[in-house]
Every structure is written in structure tokens, then in C-alpha cells.
Amino acid sequence: MNKAELIDKISADAGITKTQANTVLDSFVEAVTKTLKKGDKVTLVGFGTFSVTKRAARNGRNPQTGAVIKIKAKKVARFKAGKELASKI
């Protein structure tokens, strides 16, 4: 499912226009992004938790040459499904 299909689904289920559904979805994504940037997490009971984890620096390999390269440490977004979502999949 892509963003347009999700907007169509939200619009139909909630009885709102596609423009309103797009605004709602953009607002949700923006809120989650800002919260994760601050280092906090977003928990939706029954659905799951969005959080930020730190990935340590490590060595990798250039696939073309096989040479060892250093990969910098960075923060990555993580999603862990809740019990309710996991049981439905």
C-alpha cells in the first residue's frame, strides 16, 4: 500500500475528503518525526512503538572492490509492533 492508497482508505473509513485525510496523515508523520528527533518515543497501544536507536560505527566492505570501509555511527528510526498487531499478522 502506498501513500495515495492509504489516503483513499482513511478518507473512505472516516467519511472525510481525500484532502483532509492527506492533512491528517501528514500531521501524524510530522508529529512522529519531531518526537523522534527529540529522542522520545511514540507509543500507540495495541499498534506499536516508534523509537530511535543508535547504530554503532562498524567496518563494511565495498561490494565492487572488496576494500574495507568505515561506516559511521548514526541514529536510526525503529518500529516495534505491539501484541495486538503482531497477533493479527
CA distance 72 to 14: 44
Q: Does residue 23 sit in the same domain as residue 52?
A: no
Q: Looking at residue 10, what is its pLDDT? A: 94
Q: What is the mean pLDDT of the chain?
A: 94
CA distance 45 to 88: 14
Whether 7 has a pLDDT exceeding 90, the answer reads yes
pTM of the model: 0.76
What is the span of the domain harbouring residue 79? Answer: 40-88
Q: What is the pLDDT of residues 8-46, one digit of tens each?
A: 999 999 999 999 999 999 999 999 999 999 999 999 999
What is the total count of domains within the chain? 2
Whether 89 has a pLDDT exceeding 90, the answer reads no
Q: Looking at residue 31, what is its pLDDT? A: 96
Q: Does residue 4 sit in the same domain as residue 33?
A: yes
